[in-house]
Structure 1
Amino acid sequence: MDERVRRWRLVLGGGEADGTGTALRGDDAQMDGALSAVYEGRGGLGSSAPKVARWLGDIRGYFPASVVQVMQKDAIERLELTRLLLEPEMLDAVEPDVHLVGTLLALNAVMPDEARESARRVVRQVVGELERRLEQRTRAAVGGALDRAARTHRPRRHADIDWDRTIRANLRNYLPEHRTVVPARLTGYARRQRGVQREVVLCLDQSGSMAASVVYSGVFGAVLASMRSLKTSLVVFDTAVVDLTDQLHDPVELLFGTQLGGGTDINRAIAYGQGLITRPADSIFILVSDLFEGGIREEMLRRVAAMTQAGVQVVVLLALSDEGAPAYDHENAAALAALGVPAFACTPDAFPDLMAAAIERRDLNRWAELQASRR
């Protein structure tokens, strides 16, 4: 069979309308059946955990892990298999990923005891993989930014001179006959001091659309909390606010402390987070939310304005995930932008550089535009 025809046949799903007139055999027929169970409903998966578990095993044999994760997510949403995830047999069969963790966290309150340990095993595996992927880059980016943020006019070493700023500051000392600038005043980087250099407050919206963002934020929060140069706090909110800072040493326990779903009171969450800040000029407040406010909008905006005026670097992430921005409140995003507070989506791979940009007080609107142009 021609490979191009074979691929089209698998995409189109068979039947008179597909126009290929091609029948599949062997593994191709099995692969077609696995796809049809989700995307056509032909045969279906029903509500049998053993049947679904066998299907999960089949697709792992036919497709790469990245495709398996997409098919799992689609099957859970299209065929309403959420209830089956409460059964240990299902949890042992699935391919762990961020979306699955988000679903499990949403089911945490109704999860039976016999499924809880399997669920923790899934969450622990995904968190471990994320930490290995993101920790080193985050530490390097944040550590470098803290070094660079400490400006001095008496750099101790040649390597500490910021030549771009030094040249700009000394353009008036340009000597045409020598075609050179005389650096009468140096600008450079001081070595980072010991102790806490920045306060970081992560404020996470627990509404259902933010599930992947909560997972990634929990992992990043744990990494940041492990750095002595940062004082990191993490709070989650719906209509109530819960401070999970004391669980940052264990991101798995932290994630199980969240309760995805429910209403939203951003104003109350910001008020609590604002109270955690003791050094405004050295603080970064990161709100991860789709900005659909169920609280008092005017107070929310006043609190954000007060923080920025006090010197706090405020950042609003509409999402911290690989999928980009979900549906969000455009009116609130525009109101925040008018206050000089950018609101944008950020991928996990870009978050370390975002932290570096915030520490160095770069223009975050410009940073977001550059990130968008690279996608």
Structure 2
Amino acid sequence: MSAPARRWRLVLGAPAEDGLGGLSDAADVAMDRALSALYNADEQTPSEKRAGGLGGSAPRVARWLGDIRGYFPSTVVEIMQRDAVERLNLTELLLEPELLEAVEPDVHLVGTLLSLNRVMPETTRASARSVVEKVVREIERRIAARTVTAVSGALNRAARVTRPRLRDIDWDRTIRSNLAHYLPEYRTVVPQRLIGYGRRARAVRRDVVLAIDQSGSMASSVVYASVFGAVLASMRALRTSLVVFDTAVVDLTEQLTDPVDVLFGTQLGGGTDINRAIAYCQQLITRPDDTLFVLISDLYEGGIRTEMLRRIGAMKESGVQVLMLLALSDDGAPAYDHDNAAALAGLGVPAFACTPDRFPDLLAVALDRGDVHAWANANAGRS
């Protein structure tokens, strides 16, 4: 069998065998069996499902997970795991410790585990926490240093210094102020006085309030936002608060020293009352002109819509920098309430999604009170 025919046979499954031929290699047969157990389970008879499917016991699922990790790259394994949870109703099996030890951890699995947090038996909780911690530490490794650099390096361009560090020199102003020292023979300016940007003082200069919608559709955003919250809380120049909400509001600021504790303090799923969450966050704002409020939500409001919009408008009018994210994840274009997004845009608060890799740059722009709307337009398709 040619390589293209083999690939199509694996893609199309057993029904394509008459036209493409059978699989002869033992590894291909095993790979086909693993794919069929997931994607052709609805075509099997009850007895075949018991023999070849994923149902029956956690050890069998664990073996299947081990098989696919051997056959496919990690990116494909993550997709197959998500499909297995959705197509074969494996939610209850995720509560088994032996299954968790076989799973390839990713942010979507963390979301699934967090949604099961309240019903998870104690025998599984340690394994689940280990899976969550592994994913969280990997996200921290990926974004922490860049976030600290972007935020701490945000320059206060209103302040100028005459003995700047090399990376803080304002070359345009420096050259303009030293044009009298131009040397024609060298075709260059020899600056007698350097002008640079002043950096923010190490004291608390800005307050950041993160409000995260913990409805089931926002699972990935909750994971990433919790890690970002913990990173921001570690910076002395910022005072960071973290609030999660569905129809109730929970302040998790005290747990920000460990994002794993934050995540296990969430309750994914349920309804959404954005207005109630904003009302609580308004109580946390004591310095409007020095506060950045970040709302991460798909805007499907179950509370009082008019009050929600009124509160956002009042917050912005008081001087608060308001940032509205429809999603903070790598999951592609999010589903969201278009009417509410349009209403917020009418208030001067554009709503858009952002990937975790772009979020540090967005934070730096927002903390410097830059044009967030312009940043979003410039980064359309990348954020």
Alignment pair present for 1:319 and 2:327: yes
- What are structure 1's unaligned runs of at least 5 residues? none
Correspondent of 2:204 among 183, 196, 213: 196
Asked whether the 8 Å contact 1:244–1:257 carries over to 2, the reply is yes
Distance change in 2, residues 1:191/1:18 (3 Å): farther
Distance 1:218 1:35 in 2: 35
Q: CA deviation at 1:187?
A: 7.4
Distance 1:161 1:287 in 2: 35
Partner of residue 49, structure 2: none
Partner of residue 365, structure 1: 373
Asked whether the 8 Å contact 1:218–1:254 carries over to 2, the reply is yes
Correspondent of 1:88 among 82, 97, 100: 97
Partner of residue 266, structure 1: 274
Asked whether the 8 Å contact 1:324–1:346 carries over to 2, the reply is no
Partner of residue 40, structure 1: 40
Asked whether the 8 Å contact 1:206–1:260 carries over to 2, the reply is yes
Distance 1:253 1:91 in 2: 19
Q: State how 1:1-375 maps to structure 2 within 5 Å.
A: 1-16=1-16, 19-41=19-41, 42=44, 43-145=52-154, 148-157=155-164, 159=166, 160-163=168-171, 166=173, 188-374=196-382
SS at match of 1:189: strand
Asked whether the 8 Å contact 1:150–1:192 carries over to 2, the reply is no
Q: Give the counterpart letter for 1:302 in structure 2.
A: R
Q: CA deviation at 1:371?
A: 2.2
> Taking structure 1 as the reference length, what is the TM-score of the superposition?
0.91
Q: CA deviation at 1:163?
A: 4.2
Q: CA deviation at 1:361?
A: 2.0
Q: Give the counterpart letter for 2:27 in structure 1.
A: D
Distance 2:107 2:161 in 1: 47
Q: Give the counterpart letter for 2:141 in structure 1.
A: R
Distance 1:218 1:191 in 2: 27
RMSD of aligned C-alpha atoms? 2.5
Distance change in 2, residues 1:373/1:255 (3 Å): closer
Identity %: 67
Q: CA deviation at 1:124?
A: 0.9
Distance change in 2, residues 1:128/1:335 (3 Å): same
Distance 1:135 1:121 in 2: 20
Q: CA deviation at 1:161?
A: 4.2
Q: Give CA deviations for 1:64-114 in whole Å, capped at 9, x if unaligned.
A: 111111110110011110000111111111111100010000001111111
Asked whether the 8 Å contact 2:299–2:336 carries over to 1, the reply is yes
Distance 2:287 2:247 in 1: 27
Asked whether the 8 Å contact 1:357–1:364 carries over to 2, the reply is yes
Asked whether the 8 Å contact 1:142–1:352 carries over to 2, the reply is yes
Q: CA deviation at 1:18?
A: 7.6
Distance 1:30 1:126 in 2: 29
Q: Give the counterpart letter for 2:373 in structure 1.
A: N
Asked whether the 8 Å contact 2:296–2:327 carries over to 1, the reply is yes
Distance change in 2, residues 1:307/1:187 (3 Å): farther
- Of 284-293 and 33-42, deviating more is 33-42
SS at match of 1:228: coil
- Of 330-339 and 318-327, deviating more is 318-327
- What are structure 2's unaligned runs of at least 5 residues? 45-51
Q: Give CA deviations for 1:221-244 in whole Å, capped at 9, x if unaligned.
A: 000100111100000001111000
Q: Give CA deviations for 1:142-172 in whole Å, capped at 9, x if unaligned.
A: 1111xx13522454337444345x49x99xx
Asked whether the 8 Å contact 2:106–2:135 carries over to 1, the reply is yes
